[in-house]
Amino acid sequence: MKTILHKAEERGYQNHGWLIANHSFSFANYYDAEKVHFGALRVLNDDFVDKGMGFGMHPHANMEIVTIPLSGELQHKDSMGNFGAIKKGEIQVMSAGAGIQHSEFNGSEEKPVTLLQIWVIPKMMGVEPRYDQLKISENAVDNEFQQIISPNSDDDGSWIHQDSWFHLGKFTENANRAYKLRKSGNGVYVFVISGSVKIGEQTLNQRDALGIWETENFDMEIQKDSEILLIEVPMQLPKM
């Protein structure tokens, strides 16, 4: 088993006033040759958006984009005609494919929004753009991991154009959990939203991450009051 540790304080940091962004991988003005991607996982941004502020209409193409709100409510509008809001307990999934435009705004004048935005490189280019919004809280079970993303439209959660699985778990008590990788050649990026988890001899705290590959499974010792995101992706990038 191979691993790579990404400490929270070593992420890229940009403060734009209305937007405070932490980048696990190279993004915008932040570049680190050692942190461009983890397999097909290209972006993991941990964003704070101030009251009434947001991102105006901008384009995307050939990327699978998953947004996970952590607090507040994010307004969304896109060129496919979708308009609405997402909040904690929901996820938003966009296959940018052949090309879309969208905007994201904090519609509240009272509360900021915090969110994770994740980009996964797809296994096929130029697909028809697609939008999905899903309330995941209805099927969540405390102290267990819940599948929220897979490659299969008839599986639990939403789906993307990649052999990738996301699992999210909220733990209110200490727990030992094992994760078995869904596909050979994949790796898992373990991201600690809150709390703490120990994998092997490595302890991860809030916003720390550990990339794991060349293994079929691994064990986790999860501390109470923790929220953990597991992102399984192919380690080989698709040929363009």
16-25, 71-80, 176-185: the lowest-pLDDT one: 71-80
172 residue type, one letter: T
Asked if residue 240 belongs to a domain, the reply is no
* pLDDT score for 114: 96
* pLDDT score for 108: 85
Q: What is the number of structural domains in the chain?
A: 1
CA distance 148 to 109: 30
Q: Mean pLDDT across the stretch 204-219?
A: 98
Asked if residue 89 belongs to a domain, the reply is yes
Structural domain including 121 reads: 2-234
Asked if residue 103 belongs to a domain, the reply is yes
* pLDDT score for 240: 59
Asked if residue 239 belongs to a domain, the reply is no
Asked if residue 49 belongs to a domain, the reply is yes
Q: Mean pLDDT across the stretch 111-134?
A: 95
The CATH code of the domain that includes 28 is: 2.60.120.10
Asked if residue 121 belongs to a domain, the reply is yes
Asked if residue 60 belongs to a domain, the reply is yes
Asked if residue 11 belongs to a domain, the reply is yes
